[in-house]
Amino acid sequence: MKYAFNLEWNELPEELREEKIRQFILDGEKRLCDECDGENIYCKTCKGLGQVDPDPDNLHEQEEAEEYIRIHFPIYF
């Protein structure tokens, strides 16, 4: 089967890429707390749980998500 067009991740509109990255992060699992490195000590960020919810506004998480999606594109998409 041949397709009429060939899409690349970078060719998608920026708004759509940002939406997909945000969705990928929010659907992800909890992450180790950056403040206490996942130790089970009390800290204000994780309240001693050692894990925090995914943060779609975290630049590091955005970069990781975009790299994962880019590698698996268009399969993940």
Per-residue model confidence as pLDDT tens digits over 1-45? 555 565 788 888 899 999 999 999 999 988 888 888 877 678 888
Quote the pLDDT of residue 2. Answer: 57
Domain count, the chain: 1
Q: Is residue 46, in this structure, part of any structural domain at all?
A: yes
Quote the pLDDT of residue 18. Answer: 93
Q: Is residue 2, in this structure, part of any structural domain at all?
A: no
Mean pLDDT of 60-69: 92
Mean pLDDT of 38-58: 84
Task: List the one residue out of 28, 6, 26 whose CA is nearest residue 18.
Answer: 26
Domain limits for position 18: 9-72
Q: Is residue 4, in this structure, part of any structural domain at all?
A: no
Quote the pLDDT of residue 75. Answer: 64
Cα torsion angle, 50, 52, 54, 57, sign: negative
Q: Is residue 77, in this structure, part of any structural domain at all?
A: no
Asked whether residue 56 carries a pLDDT value surpassing 70, the answer given is yes
